[in-house]
């Protein structure tokens, strides 16, 4: 039976439950939700699949040691006690990423230097030689996380952040992160059952991620490599099977529409969509939202309008007022999801949201709001859907209630998040997920294996050049192969 071990999937705050559901679908065990992370157990195949298939994970860490340290010397001694030849060849390169939330350790770079010194001194004593540090594209990337005096040292199996899918050729100012876009789409419950519209699509991130979800295409298929491919125990045959297995992909019979009033953004989105191989699923149009008309088919809108932070808008409030007007008059019978930052912008929409989800877009504390657009009374609208829920009647979606206390959203820096109270994370299904405290990671060695059906596989393309990149997989169905991104000078 294959060895089971603990792993940690990092994500954005607000996407933890979505990531946990992804891991459940993938077949992971012992799934437990934390703050901006989900821990789970699995074998080597599960680690490969987590990197290749998860849409809402930023990176996958494999903890190799947990310890308590009150000062830098204790960190050094604990790190030097690790049998490093099991993880790193003396002729290979390594780098260290330190994340520190502690009064004892105020500077993450200082922690990185102590870990580096411990590893280098270990090999000098053992072999008389030392491995080299390489900041960009190292052979082994290590992560040390310190919460007060609790330390966790992990191998980073992902390398470059998993939000860097590999299909983006160009981008507009302030592009939406791919992981956040995928999380927003999964949060709506949409899986390709109807048309999807992004009326302000920018460089096309939401339409592309929607197409990948609709067809169940693994986001890792575009990447040139993962950090675990350079590990001493890398199983290339196992990963070839995962990479070439497209048996879970499905047909998509609806359409995805992306609109924008910026010709340059439309051009960029066209290139990105073609590079992702989803041109037949996504239709782009140069059109302002003011000209949006009622779609003929059942549809859902998912949009990320400008906030007025990194993108200046001459009349930001007027923009959101126009969004509300179009939704009320040209999207009746459907639902729309809007991500934004300012409360005063949401107020201008003039619709009463049926759901509010806190999400972070970078350092901005945003909300993702759901609007159910109906004509007439809310109770009649819900009864037509067969739900028959008893709710207060309101005319249309207009929020006619008294002014509520305004919530002020403020940008928040890394490390300023307050720990959640115990029990604040609530599982969606009883007994499925368990909350755990940050830093409380313990390696596990439970017996068990991940089973899968044996299928005929086609061999993966041979690696090309110095970078361990693989040839694009030959896609089935109506998708064209992706266009490899040009190497930077």
Distance CA 233, CA 87 (A): 8
Any domain includes 460: no
**Domain termination residue (choose one: 405, 420, 435):** 435
Domains held by the chain: number: 2
Any domain includes 36: yes
Query: Are both 142 and 255 inside the same structural domain?
Result: no
Query: Are both 107 and 154 inside the same structural domain?
Result: yes
Query: Are both 116 and 187 inside the same structural domain?
Result: no
Label residue 2 by pLDDT band (50, 70, 90): confident
Per residue in 35-44, is it b (16+ CB within 10 Å) or e — as a string? bbbbbbbbbb
Query: Are both 82 and 144 inside the same structural domain?
Result: yes
Any domain includes 466: no
Average pLDDT, the chain: 82
Query: Are both 46 and 89 inside the same structural domain?
Result: yes
pLDDT at 444: 38
pTM across the whole model? 0.78
Q: Is the pLDDT of residue 438 over 70?
A: no
- Number of helices (H), then strands (E), in the chain: 11, 16
Query: Are both 154 and 61 inside the same structural domain?
Result: yes
Any domain includes 455: no
Distance CA 424, CA 383 (A): 33
Q: Which of 141, 160, 8 is nearest to 87 (CA)?
A: 141
Label residue 384 by pLDDT band (50, 70, 90): low
Confirm if 200 and 303 have CB atoms less than 8 A apart. Answer: yes
Query: Are both 147 and 182 inside the same structural domain?
Result: no
Distance CA 103, CA 460 (A): 49
pLDDT at 1: 58
User: For residues 404 and 187, which has the higher predicted lDDT (pLDDT)?
Assistant: 187
Least confident of 34-43, 284-293, 304-313, 424-433: 424-433
The pLDDT tens digits of the residues spanning 314-337 come to: 688 899 999 999 999 999 999 999
Label residue 216 by pLDDT band (50, 70, 90): very high
pLDDT at 314: 63
Label residue 311 by pLDDT band (50, 70, 90): low
In 348-426, DSSP assigns E strands to 355-361, 364-372
pLDDT at 413: 43
Label residue 472 by pLDDT band (50, 70, 90): low
pLDDT at 310: 56
Distance CA 244, CA 248 (A): 11
Label residue 454 by pLDDT band (50, 70, 90): very low
pLDDT at 107: 83
Q: Is the pLDDT of residue 397 over 80?
A: no
Confirm if 349 and 338 have CB atoms less than 8 A apart. Answer: yes
Average pLDDT, integer, range 167-176: 81
The pLDDT tens digits of the residues spanning 188-198 come to: 999 999 999 99
Query: Are both 140 and 204 inside the same structural domain?
Result: no
Query: Are both 211 and 308 inside the same structural domain?
Result: yes
Helix or strand holding residue 38 (H, E): strand 37-42
pLDDT at 470: 54
Q: Is the pLDDT of residue 366 over 60?
A: yes
pLDDT at 382: 55
pLDDT at 171: 74
Q: Is the pLDDT of residue 238 over 50?
A: yes
Average pLDDT, integer, range 423-443: 44
Can you give the CATH number for the domain in which 184 is found? 3.40.50.150
CA distances from 258 to 123, 134, 207, 292, 331 (A): 54, 41, 6, 12, 16
Distance CA 175, CA 27 (A): 32
The pLDDT tens digits of the residues spanning 146-158 come to: 999 999 999 999 9
Any domain includes 443: no
Label residue 402 by pLDDT band (50, 70, 90): very low
pLDDT at 342: 86
Any domain includes 473: no
Query: Are both 305 and 368 inside the same structural domain?
Result: yes
- Which SS3 state, helix, strand or coil, does residue 357 take? strand
Q: Is the pLDDT of residue 303 over 80?
A: yes
**Domain termination residue (choose one: 395, 419, 435):** 435
Query: Are both 83 and 185 inside the same structural domain?
Result: no
Distance CA 361, CA 2 (A): 39
Average pLDDT, integer, range 125-132: 94
Q: Which of 195, 172, 152 is nearest to 62 (CA)?
A: 152
Label residue 411 by pLDDT band (50, 70, 90): very low
Query: Which residues have C-beta within 8 Å of that of residue 128, sequence separation ≥ 6?
Result: none
Least confident of 122-126, 222-226, 323-327, 403-407: 403-407
What percentage of the chain exceeds 70 in pLDDT?
75
What are the strands of the beta sheet with 434-435, ordered from one edge? Answer: 132-133, 93-101, 140-147, 150-156, 59-68, 5-10, 37-42, 29-34, 434-435
Query: Are both 158 and 184 inside the same structural domain?
Result: no
Average pLDDT, integer, range 482-486: 48
Average pLDDT, integer, range 419-425: 40
Q: Which of 210, 225, 136, 224 is nearest to 176 (CA)?
A: 210
Q: Which of 126, 254, 179, 260 is nearest to 14 (CA)?
A: 179
Average pLDDT, integer, range 388-417: 41
Can you give the CATH number for the domain in which 53 is found? 3.30.2130.30
pLDDT at 489: 39
Distance CA 428, CA 33 (A): 11
Any domain includes 481: no
Range of the domain at 257: 178-221+250-384
**Domain termination residue (choose one: 321, 356, 384):** 384
pLDDT at 422: 40
pLDDT at 448: 36
Distance CA 325, CA 391 (A): 24
Least confident of 10-14, 257-261, 463-467: 463-467
Label residue 98 by pLDDT band (50, 70, 90): very high
Any domain includes 454: no
User: For residues 254 and 412, which has the higher predicted lDDT (pLDDT)?
Assistant: 254
Q: Is the pLDDT of residue 435 over 90?
A: no
Label residue 385 by pLDDT band (50, 70, 90): low
């Amino acid at each position: 039976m294959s060895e089971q071990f603990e792993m940690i999937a990092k994500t954005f705050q607000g996407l933890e439950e979505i990531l946990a559901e992804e891991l459940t679908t993938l077949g992971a065990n012992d799934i437990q939700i934390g703050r901006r992370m989900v821990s789970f157990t699995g074998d080597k195949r599960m680690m490969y699949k987590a990197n290749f298939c998860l849409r809402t994970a930023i990176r996958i860490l494999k903890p190799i040691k947990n310890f308590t340290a009150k000062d830098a010397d204790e960190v050094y001694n604990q790190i030097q006690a690790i049998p490093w030849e099991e993880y790193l060849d003396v002729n290979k390169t390594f780098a260290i990423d330190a994340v520190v939330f502690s009064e004892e350790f105020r500077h993450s770079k200082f922690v990185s230097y102590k870990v580096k010194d411990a590893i280098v001194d270990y090999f000098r004593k053992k072999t008389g030689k030392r491995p080299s540090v390489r900041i960009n594209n190292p052979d082994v990337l290590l992560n040390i996380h310190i919460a007060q005096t609790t330390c966790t040292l992990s191998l980073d199996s992902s390398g470059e952040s998993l939000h860097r899918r590999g299909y983006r050729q160009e981008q507009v100012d302030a592009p939406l992160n791919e992981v956040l876009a995928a999380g927003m789409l999964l949060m709506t419950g949409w899986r390709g059952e109807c048309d999807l519209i992004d009326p302000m699509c920018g460089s096309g991130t939401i339409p592309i991620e929607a197409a990948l979800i609709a067809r169940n295409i693994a986001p890792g298929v575009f990447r040139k490599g993962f950090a675990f491919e350079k590990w001493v125990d890398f199983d290339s045959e196992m990963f070839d099977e995962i990479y070439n297995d497209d048996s879970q992909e499905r047909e998509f019979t609806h359409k995805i529409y992306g609109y924008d009033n910026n010709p340059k953004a439309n051009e960029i989105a066209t290139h990105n969509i073609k590079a992702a191989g989803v041109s037949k699923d996504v239709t782009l149009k140069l059109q302002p939202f003011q000209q949006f008309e009622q779609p003929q088919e059942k549809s859902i809108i998912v949009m990320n309008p400008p906030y007025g932070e990194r993108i200046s808008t001459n009349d930001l409030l007027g923009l959101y007022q126009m969004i509300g007007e179009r939704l009320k008059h040209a999207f009746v019978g459907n639902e729309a999801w809007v991500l934004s930052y300012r409360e005063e912008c949401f107020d201008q929409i003039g619709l009463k949201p049926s759901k509010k989800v806190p999400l972070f877009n970078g350092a901005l504390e945003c909300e993702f709001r759901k609007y159910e657009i109906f004509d007439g009374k809310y109770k009649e609208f819900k009864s037509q859907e067969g739900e028959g829920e008893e709710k207060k009647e309101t005319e249309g979606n207009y929020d006619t209630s008294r002014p509520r206390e305004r919530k002020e959203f403020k940008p928040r820096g890394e490390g300023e998040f307050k720990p959640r109270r115990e029990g604040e994370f609530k599982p969606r299904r009883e007994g499925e997920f368990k909350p755990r405290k940050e830093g409380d990671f313990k390696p596990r060695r439970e017996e068990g294996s991940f089973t899968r059906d044996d299928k005929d596989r086609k061999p993966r393309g041979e690696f090309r050049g110095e970078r361990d990149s693989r040839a694009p997989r030959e896609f089935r169905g109506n998708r064209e192969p992706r266009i490899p991104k040009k190497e930077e000078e």
